[in-house]
Amino acid sequence: MQQEWLEEPIAKIKDPESRRVEKLEARLKVRSAIFFLGVVCLSLVVVVMWEGWNSRQYRLHDQKIAMSNLAQTLSSQAQASIKQADTVLFSLVDRLEIDGMGHDQLPRLQRLLIAQRNELAQLHGLFIHDEKGEWVASSSMVTPSTTNNSDREYFIFHREHPDRSPHIGPSIKSRTTGEWVIPVSRRINHPDGSFAGVVVATLYLDHFLRLYNSIDIGGDGVINLISADAKIVVRRPFSEAKVGSSVANGPLFTQLLPKGSSGTATVKSYVDGVERVVGFRRVDEYPLIIFAALNKDEVLASWRQESWLSAAIVSLLLGILGLLGYRLIRLMRQQNHIQNELLGTQDNLIEANRTLELLALEDALTGLANRRQFDLFIQAELGRAKRSQGNLALLMIDVDHFKRFNDQYGHLAGDECLRTIGAIIRENIKRPGDLAARYGGEEFAVVLPGTDYVGAFLVAEKIRRAVQQAGIEHNNSTEGTVTVSLGVSACNPTSQELPDDLIDASDKALYVAKTSGRNMSVIAN
């Protein structure tokens, strides 16, 4: 076509109708180009906005999971701390109801309380009060000005309730030391079942605060330990004014707890009105709730910075794209053939990118060789081994119970596990000529040129022990940690095996390792 156009007489004059048609076609091409440019710009904006929104939701979701895990951990800590004190109280009540609280028992009781108090770091003190609220014995060496505690909430509760279960009262200030404590108490009965007094264990409020203050929850994060009747027992950041205040009308008790004993949400705080990403959980066995929350604005602060940066970059790209589009339209009007050259260049770039993609030989997750590089490498090394009459060994490695690991800890933890195992394999493959590759999923392969069965088995055992010693937690594994099984195969100088034969032999050995109990290396028969 172009050659024919060049050969046309220059002096040939086109008729007006042809020129009009050509002008119309040119205008249509320009309008199409403008429309296309607008669609590209709009699509770019929509894609960036969509990715930004997804990133925002991911940040919030990720922090919800973090708050849920934190609430679960703190719930276990609170349950363990109170359980230890409650166990002491239970044994004291049993002893007092059998031996009584006579005057001759007091010295022994005093020594027992002091010994028990010294065993538990979270205990502020242990106290025994008779049915009138008078002190019978305590672990404290300091006696307050008043030794009658009948006005305390826990004493009134046990006097009016025959229930024998432990009672956790609101946080109070100790009359002996002036420190904030949490009282855990049990009722003492006379042989006829009537009220005989109370045993009390007071836990340092600071025991909980030290832990809560050591956790990074941002500048405006909150951790609350709340009683079942919606009273704040401990709060970080600590404020004496907040201790004992009610949050019964807050979203925790009106919206979240009615739906379940644990969960996550994004809610506005009833105490200070700040919107937070929260995780909550009831404490097992005791009427307490753990509430952990991050300021939503702090959670999204880095996302906002990234979004502004993305917006600036996109604006710059849109400006550049608009300028290039304008120049392209001008060039379309002046020199139509340039468009063909640009399209040809674009095709070449696309083809070059495809070629580069085909040449990518590294696994993105672990940094090891990928399957394609493995196939090329083992084919080349097997040919070299046959020509040089040398040995070639292959290890196939599979992570034991990896599906269970993913199901329990999540895919992010699974990816981190694979990265760690990949690094361990790389550290134990020392020779420059060896190749470690991710074969697929949780399976890895190691090609060992110039290595026989014995040498390959030693390398396999070295890798297996290194993975086990890494101590990656795996509660659903018989070992309690992540382990690997290995299949070992090798070909001798006279072998006529193909790569598939070597891989098949390793796979069969690996299967034997998996079916024989896992966490072992097996040599192919």
Predicted confidence (pLDDT) at residue 384 exceeds the cutoff of 60: yes
The ranges assigned to domains in the chain are: 105-206, 301-359, 371-523
Q: List C-alpha distances in Å: 369 to 343, 361, 428.
A: 35, 6, 15
Q: Can you tell me the distance from the alpha carbon of 148 to that of 150, in angstroms, rounded to the nearest whole number?
A: 6
User: Which architecture does CATH list for 105-206?
Assistant: 2-Layer Sandwich (3.30)
Predicted confidence (pLDDT) at residue 429 exceeds the cutoff of 70: yes
Task: Name the CA dihedral angle for 426, 430, 435, 439, rounded to a multiple of 10 degrees.
Answer: -30
β partners of residue 448: 393
The model's pLDDT over 274-333, given as tens digits with 9 standing for 90+, comes to 888 999 999 998 999 999 999 888 888 888 888 888 888 888 888 888 888 778 777 776
Catalytic residues: 442
Residue type, 45: V
Adjacency order of strands within the sheet including 275-282: 232-236, 222-227, 288-295, 275-282, 262-268
Predicted confidence (pLDDT) at residue 513 exceeds the cutoff of 80: yes
Position 523 scores a pLDDT of 94
From 446, 402, 441, select the one nearest 425 (Cα to Cα): 446
From 153, 152, 184, 186, select the one nearest 168 (Cα to Cα): 184
Q: List C-alpha distances in Å: 216 to 211, 265, 300, 346.
A: 11, 19, 16, 50
Strand 484-491 relative to strand 521-523, pairing: parallel
Position 5 scores a pLDDT of 31
Predicted confidence (pLDDT) at residue 409 exceeds the cutoff of 50: yes
DSSP assignment of 172-233: EE-TTT--EEEEEEEEEE-TTS-EEEEEEEEEEHHHHHHHHHTS---TT-EEEEEETTSBEE
DSSP assignment of 110-134: HHHHHHHHHH-TTEEEEEEEETTSB
On average, the pLDDT of the chain sits at 85
From 44, 42, 62, select the one nearest 54 (Cα to Cα): 62
Percent of the chain with pLDDT over 70: 89
The model's pLDDT over 34-86, given as tens digits with 9 standing for 90+, comes to 788 788 888 888 888 888 888 888 888 898 899 999 999 999 999 999 999 99
Position 15 scores a pLDDT of 58
Task: Name the CA dihedral angle for 359, 364, 369, 370, rounded to a multiple of 10 degrees.
Answer: -70
Binned at pLDDT 50, 70 and 90, residue 12 comes out as very low
**Number of C-beta neighbours around residue 475 at 10 A:** 10
CATH topology of domain 371-523: Alpha-Beta Plaits (3.30.70)
Position 8 scores a pLDDT of 41
Take residue 382 and report the two structure tokens written for it.
């097997």
Average pLDDT score over residue span 242-254: 88
The model's pLDDT over 333-348, given as tens digits with 9 standing for 90+, comes to 676 555 555 555 665 6
Position 461 scores a pLDDT of 95
Predicted confidence (pLDDT) at residue 11 exceeds the cutoff of 70: no
Position 145 scores a pLDDT of 55
* CB < 8 Å & 24+ apart, contacts of 361-364: 363/422, 363/437, 363/438
Binned at pLDDT 50, 70 and 90, residue 146 comes out as low
Position 22 scores a pLDDT of 64
Predicted confidence (pLDDT) at residue 150 exceeds the cutoff of 90: no
Predicted confidence (pLDDT) at residue 185 exceeds the cutoff of 80: yes
Binned at pLDDT 50, 70 and 90, residue 4 comes out as very low
The DSSP letter of residue 165 is S
Predicted confidence (pLDDT) at residue 3 exceeds the cutoff of 50: no
